Amino acid sequence: MSDFNIHYVAKLARIALTPEEERTLGIQLDGILGYIAKLKEVDVSGVEPTAHAFPLFNVTRPDVVEPSLSTEEALRNAPAKAAGLFVVPKIVE
């Protein structure tokens, strides 16, 4: 797959790769993309896509607040927290 740019796609996926990983993954993914290209052989004209294996449509529930995790429980596994919030690096200058 000549237009597959591992560096660009890894950035889209937000995964930092070492140069060595980029090289190995690039080669492996070229092989896999070559294999999945065989789907181009199939005539899919007029075929509807299947998004879910067992069609169910428009499953909803009433729009009301129900019991859920407490703030404390939701934060329990956070790597950094303060004042009942997740802490992240500065986003806006």
Partner 1 sequence: MLHRLTISQLTGQLARREVSSRDALEACLAQIDRVDPQVKAFLSADRADARAQADAADHALAAGTTHAQKPLLGVPIALKDVLCHRGQPVGCSSRILEGFVSPYDGTVVERLKTAGAVLFGRLNMDEFAMGSSTENSAYWTTLNPWDTTRIPGGSSGGCAAAVAANEAFATIGSDTGGSIRQPAALCGCVGLKPTYGRVSRYGLVAFASSLDQIGPFTKDTRDAATLLGAISGHDRRDSTSLVEPVPDYVAALESPGAGSTPLKGLRIGVVKEFQIGGVEAGVDAAVKTGIARLRELGAEIVEVSLPHSDYAAATYYIIAPAEASANLARFDGVRYGRRVDGADPFELNSRTRGAGFGPEVKRRIILGTYVLSSGYYDAYYLRAQKVRTLIRDDFLKAFEKVDAIVSPTAPTAAFKVGEKSSDPLQMYLSDIFTISCNLAGICGLSVPCGFTGTPRLPVGMQLLGRPLGEGTILKIAHAYEQSTDWHRQVAPLG
Sites for partner 1 among residues 20-39 (CB under 8 A): 21, 24-25, 28-29, 31-33, 35-39
Q: Least distance from C-beta 66 to partner 1, angstroms? A: 10
Under the criterion CB under 8 A, does residue 19 sit at the interface with partner 1?
no
Q: Least distance from C-beta 44 to partner 1, angstroms? A: 4
Under the criterion CB under 8 A, does residue 13 sit at the interface with partner 1?
yes
1 near 28, Cβ under 8 Å?
A: no
30 near 1, Cβ under 8 Å?
A: yes
